[in-house]
Amino acid sequence: MFVGKKMARNLVTITGDTSILKVKNLLKQHKIDQLPVVDGKKLVGIITDRDIRVNLPSPANTLSVHELNYLLSEMKTEDVMTRKVFTTTPGTTIEEAARLINEKHVNSLPVVAGDELVGLITTCDLLNVLLEFMGVHSAPSGRVELRLSSNIGEIAKIANIINDMGLKIVSLVSTIDKDDSDVRPTLVRVDTDNTGELCRVLEDAGHTVIDEYRVEK
């Protein structure tokens, strides 16, 4: 899956000469915490509510509302925006975008094609992708956590057991344990909220069930 499939396209943007007062109002109105700054279609920066807070003069907390609003109306976006912006592209994979967001400690990545801003991908978008892949919204469903061997064919064995019980796999996530390469922690979500029998059958087949969790809708 690629960023271009999950990014927001209808963005609220501003220019460098937009007043900070207007920026604050836009952030509040749209219930967001950052705005891309553009020159035409070219991305030139990003401004966050934190940028505004840290750039206010220290005496601001002693100002009246009228005085503070006047100060904010005189300050311009280009004076406080972040100019070095971490970006991604529509053709970047979702996992690479997630890695970059985590590595750079940012809440979102503007999506660019060349210099042109074409979208925005946020941590919320990435969480929605995770929920989608984990099948959380399927109902009814149950989640079983297993500790599998990393031997070839182990996941196929699990799939066959589930199939033989007349159940369907909603999602399956498996990875190599970072501390033990012979172990695969595996999460399986199936289309039933009664996973007790499945756990019993898996254990009878010699598999280690760590935990089960039922989701009822």
Least confident interval from 17-21, 24-28, 55-59, 204-208: 55-59
User: Within this chain, do residues 202 and 109 fall inside the same structural domain, yes or no?
Assistant: no
Contact 167, 190 (CB under 8 A): yes
Q: Binning pLDDT at 50, 70 and 90, where does residue 90 land?
A: very high
What pLDDT is attached to residue 217? 43
Note if the pTM is more than 0.85.
Answer: no
The CATH number that applies at residue 143 is 3.30.70.260
The CATH number that applies at residue 16 is 3.10.580.10
Q: Is the pLDDT of residue 99 over 50?
A: yes
Task: Dig out the tokens for 47 from the structure.
Answer: 């401004």
Rounded to a whole number of angstroms, the distance between the first and last alpha carbons of the chain is: 27
Q: Binning pLDDT at 50, 70 and 90, where does residue 215 land?
A: very low
Higher per-residue pLDDT: 14 or 138: 14
Q: What is the pLDDT of residues 124-161, one digit of tens each?
A: 999 999 988 888 877 788 999 999 999 999 999 999 99
User: Within this chain, do residues 100 and 141 fall inside the same structural domain, yes or no?
Assistant: no
User: Within this chain, do residues 68 and 175 fall inside the same structural domain, yes or no?
Assistant: no
**Of 176, 171, 147, nearest to 159 (Cα)?**
171
Question: How many other CB atoms sit within 10 Å of the CB of residue 30?
Answer: 11
User: Within this chain, do residues 113 and 11 fall inside the same structural domain, yes or no?
Assistant: yes
User: Within this chain, do residues 125 and 141 fall inside the same structural domain, yes or no?
Assistant: no
Burial 81-119 (b: 16+ CB within 10 A, else e): beeebebbbbebebeebbebbeeeebebbbbbeeeebbb
Domain boundary pick from 110, 129, 148: 129
The helix (H) or strand (E) run that includes residue 24 is helix 20-30
In one letter, which amino acid is 104? K
**Torsion over CA of 178, 180, 186 and 187, rounded to 10 degrees?**
-50
What pLDDT is attached to residue 72? 85
What pLDDT is attached to residue 59? 57
Q: What's the average model confidence in pLDDT over 86-91?
A: 97
Domain boundary pick from 129, 159, 174: 129
**Torsion over CA of 123, 29, 52 and 48, rounded to 10 degrees?**
20
What pLDDT is attached to residue 60? 54
User: Within this chain, do residues 202 and 147 fall inside the same structural domain, yes or no?
Assistant: yes
Higher per-residue pLDDT: 139 or 186: 186
Q: What's the average model confidence in pLDDT over 161-183?
A: 94
Domain boundary pick from 71, 98, 129: 129
Q: Domain containing 177: what range?
A: 137-215
What pLDDT is attached to residue 140? 83
| Residues 6+ positions from 92 with CB-CB distance below 8 Å | 2, 3
What pLDDT is attached to residue 212? 60
Percent of residues, the chain, with pLDDT higher than 90: 77
User: Within this chain, do residues 120 and 145 fall inside the same structural domain, yes or no?
Assistant: no
User: Within this chain, do residues 27 and 68 fall inside the same structural domain, yes or no?
Assistant: yes
User: Within this chain, do residues 153 and 49 fall inside the same structural domain, yes or no?
Assistant: no
User: Within this chain, do residues 48 and 118 fall inside the same structural domain, yes or no?
Assistant: yes
Question: How many structural domains does the chain have?
Answer: 2
User: Within this chain, do residues 99 and 150 fall inside the same structural domain, yes or no?
Assistant: no
User: Within this chain, do residues 47 and 147 fall inside the same structural domain, yes or no?
Assistant: no
Q: What is the pLDDT of residues 57-88, one digit of tens each?
A: 665 566 677 777 888 888 999 999 999 999 99
What pLDDT is attached to residue 57? 66
- Rounded to 5°, the CA angle 126-127-130 comes to 90
Within 8-138, strands assigned E span: 34-39, 42-48, 108-113, 116-122
| Residues 6+ positions from 91 with CB-CB distance below 8 Å | 2, 3, 4
What pLDDT is attached to residue 66? 78
